[in-house]
Amino acid sequence: MRSPSRSDPSSRSCLRLCLVIVASLLCCHSGEPVRSSAHRKKSMPSSQPTHEAPGQQLRGKRGLALIVELPGRPIRLGEPCSIAVTLRNHGDSAVVINRRMSVGYRDSLSRELFAEIVDASTGKAAPYPPVDYDRDFSEAEDYVALAPGDTISGGFDLFEWYPLEHAGTYRLTVFYQATEELATPPAGTYAGTVSSRTVTVIIEDPLARR
């Protein structure tokens, strides 16, 4: 006669078998195999695109952006045409720049801004007689640290510096570059070239409206 305090080994085996069967049925009912949460997170594709926070994609880099704004009115050939230019620091650290923001030409000296203008009808550079100017080189106080998120603005008259000869549709791109060979910028000054987005400029012939 067996002692009531002891269980039958065969009974314990049957109990374990029943628990295994129940667990298997629960897994099948869920429709997904049991995995660790880390594995599911890695293998599950995202249903939405991931957008980085502003400035995150430039983390660790010195990100400068150049923004160009045209006049909010029709542009007529030969009339004043003010082009507003803003340099913004999109990076996560300060950048030393030249705040003078003076305009010139790509191959000229003593300038921080220059433009490229393409005739949309031909795809070629628009002809214009360049201005012969004389300007002092930048001084030490012209160089400042532009903090993250800060901006500095400048501008120029389009036809004063780029006197186009004909009305029409043009594509304008403005560049910031402050690496003058004959100037002495402080150490750490941004040495690259920053380009704006190309904007379309429609120039009207003032005589055609009369």
What are the tens digits of pLDDT across the range 58-80?
333 458 999 999 999 999 999 99
Burial (CB count within 10 angstroms: exposed 0-12, middle 13-18, buried 19+), residue 200: exposed
Distance of CA 25 to the CA centre of its chain: 54
Give pLDDT tens digits along the chain (210 positions).
444 444 454 444 444 554 445 444 444 444 433 333 333 323 323 322 222 333 333 333 458 999 999 999 999 999 999 999 999 999 999 999 999 999 999 999 899 999 999 999 999 999 999 999 999 999 889 999 999 999 999 999 999 999 999 999 999 999 999 987 778 888 889 999 999 999 999 999 988 765
Structural domain tally of the chain? Answer: 2
Same domain, yes or no: 97 and 15: no
**Are 61 and 14 in the same domain?**
no
Confirm whether 3 is domain-assigned.
no
Whether residues 20 and 97 fall in one domain = no
Supply the mean pLDDT for the chain. 78
Q: Is 4 inside a domain boundary?
A: no
* CA R_g for the chain: 34
| β-pair partners for 89 | 64
75 and 161 inside one domain: yes
Q: What range does the domain containing 65 cover? A: 56-209
Same domain membership, residue 116 and residue 25: no
Q: What is the CATH number of the domain that holds 186?
A: 2.60.40.2970
Whether the CA torsion 92, 96, 99, 104 is positive or negative: it is negative
**pLDDT tens digit sequence for 71-110:** 999 999 999 999 999 999 999 999 999 999 999 999 998 9
Do 98 and 192 have their domain in common?
yes
Q: Is residue 32 a part of any domain in this protein? A: yes
